[in-house]
Structure 1
């Protein structure tokens, strides 16, 4: 019996995770993308610029809450089962200078994370300096993004996945005999040379992120970018994951990676396509981080608190795929050359792509089963 052929469009964290789940479900999966994890860094490849840890943004009872919960459980299992997965558990500390306006969110977090607990002042992580009036902790997942994306890609190929590099004006251009986009094989192994895919997949999975805004047969005007600026520093002695909420509504976050690098953030620029680091934002991120956690500085340089002593590796800007109406996980139909091909949309996760990736893939599998 021939395998059912499935097209996945997009090779970011959502696309690759979905492709892996589909392969495990027995589909023949082909990924189409302009950019892959092993390519040079590009602003277009938004997954590379993520932090990333697991900090639920969802509203209680919303679909996103289910996606995040399923993903948290999957990561916890992965870390136990696969010592090579570039992710780790860490205690996350949420620290507040004021609780004004935070009660609803804290209630959600207390219901979401099984080991969520309130802290007294003596339980703040060692080294934190600030006017903390309340704190909470729980177990989070910290993902080493530059290693995790190639890990997913390798896992995809080991399961038998195939990939093609292409730039498409529309989803239709993948399945139309009249307007098929040019493409070339993408592989980590030169011996892997698949034939050009047929034109009849059982479905197309749209994981194009911000691309959904401009694809001619999607044109989702609800999609917009939310820029995020971060600083990557070298500080392998830093262990906790921290989000610090200032009384003036500023936020500072610290995310450790397996490699010993630290992600220091952050910023949120709504509908902002700016592609380069802004010096004033970079300076503010460093100052806030050092102010509340001098341990970011090398030993012997903490008392002075000079941000110029940070061991900065990179200043980064990424674009989160935000969507006015939230994540899009639904099925539509593409009519091409007299054929009707189901399209399952899987994008619009905002800043939660990693922390909802496995749950989103699970939901796509549910939508695929409903097509039978």
Structure 2
């Protein structure tokens, strides 16, 4: 028997499991797929509150997580976290919450916001999280569930970090996919990241220099369940990025990725309820496009509900 079963092995599930395990809880993580095949593994992944609600709570979660990433950036090869300079073109501090000023790494310029922010190599970071969970006495298991009652049969507390899976497991019809498509290319020497986003559009432009590759994006198509890369969309992504840095047009394509961001109409849900059999169920889902950005902040709040 475990004290807690965490359902979901992406960045939210593993971070929550780690917090609980380090507090002495006997934790089991149940994940349908390996961490490297979760939506989290596809993420870009730049620290920034993107497409996430509620705005009045996101700032605190994000800043808590930022401080941890700043510490982990001292060991980039191990943790996958680096601090990298870049530009949010067109962004203004006046349009953001107080968290932007408190991050202390953001400077407003004529072009937009120049920032030095955590950029996370997600496959490396997820592997590091799994290793830390095991080192703290937890287990990570490949196991799909049809209901939370299955987990409750083996632990007194269940934590729901199921992401998009919460739509059926809870069930919560407000959970919806926001499809993101990426193109991976050989890096032609770009060292800084770049983003330009229009909240009213399903198209964004960004590139993130990750070890061994340059990640190009992107899209944000709500209610699109397709996990298959679209060739025309890929061409458009490369073309948009090349308008910013022309050398990208000549970069050799290494691969294509699609991730379905787990958005929720009412925003992130972190709350407790009691299952019919008496076990406690703690929800931690609905992180949209910012699961990486708020992972620790949300994990700590969920862990407080576990008690």
Same fold by TM-score, threshold 0.5 exceeded?
A: yes
Give me the CA root mean square deviation: 2.4
Describe the SS at the equivalent of 1:26. coil
CA contact (8 A) 2:282 2:305 kept: yes
2:26 aligned with 1:28, yes or no? yes
Describe the SS at the equivalent of 1:156. helix
Question: Which residue pairs with 1:255 in the alignment?
Answer: 208
The offset of 1:54, in angstroms, is: 0.7
2:146 aligned with 1:169, yes or no? yes
Distance 2:175 2:244 in 1: 35
- Give the counterpart of 2:81 among 77, 83, 87: 87
Question: Which residue pairs with 1:237 in the alignment?
Answer: 189
The offset of 1:174, in angstroms, is: 2.3
Describe the SS at the equivalent of 2:68. helix
2:165 aligned with 1:211, yes or no? yes
The offset of 1:59, in angstroms, is: 6.8
CA distance change for structure 1 residues 72 and 159 in 2, over 3 Å: closer, same or farther?
Answer: same
Distance 2:131 2:180 in 1: 28
The offset of 1:354, in angstroms, is: 0.6
Question: Which residue pairs with 2:275 in the alignment?
Answer: 334
CA contact (8 A) 1:72 1:141 kept: yes
2:253 aligned with 1:312, yes or no? yes
Structure 1 stretches of 4+ moved >4 Å: 58-61, 106-110
Question: Which residue pairs with 1:291 in the alignment?
Answer: 243
Describe the SS at the equivalent of 1:84. helix
2:140 aligned with 1:154, yes or no? no
Aligned ranges for residues 16-165 of structure 1 at < 5 Å?
16-37=14-35, 41=37, 45-57=38-50, 62-80=56-74, 84-96=78-90, 104-106=94-96, 110-120=100-110, 134-165=111-142
Question: Which residue pairs with 1:181 in the alignment?
Answer: none
The offset of 1:232, in angstroms, is: 0.9
Question: Which residue pairs with 1:227 in the alignment?
Answer: 179
Per-residue CA distance 1:152-189 (angstroms, 9 max, x = gap): 1112112211233222110002234xxxxxxxxxxxxx
CA distance change for structure 1 residues 109 and 283 in 2, over 3 Å: closer, same or farther?
Answer: farther
Greater per-residue helix proportion: 2
Distance 1:82 1:291 in 2: 30
CA distance change for structure 1 residues 114 and 17 in 2, over 3 Å: closer, same or farther?
Answer: same
Question: Which residue pairs with 1:303 in the alignment?
Answer: none
CA distance change for structure 1 residues 72 and 260 in 2, over 3 Å: closer, same or farther?
Answer: same
**Which runs of no fewer than 5 residues in structure 1 stay unpaired?**
121-133, 177-198, 297-306
Question: Which residue pairs with 1:129 in the alignment?
Answer: none
Greater per-residue strand proportion: 2
The offset of 1:62, in angstroms, is: 1.5
The offset of 1:9, in angstroms, is: 0.8
CA contact (8 A) 2:175 2:263 kept: yes
Question: Which residue pairs with 1:276 in the alignment?
Answer: 228
TM-score scaled by length of structure 2: 0.91
**Which runs of no fewer than 5 residues in structure 2 stay unpaired?**
none
Distance 1:151 1:73 in 2: 18
Larger Rg: 1
The offset of 1:85, in angstroms, is: 1.3
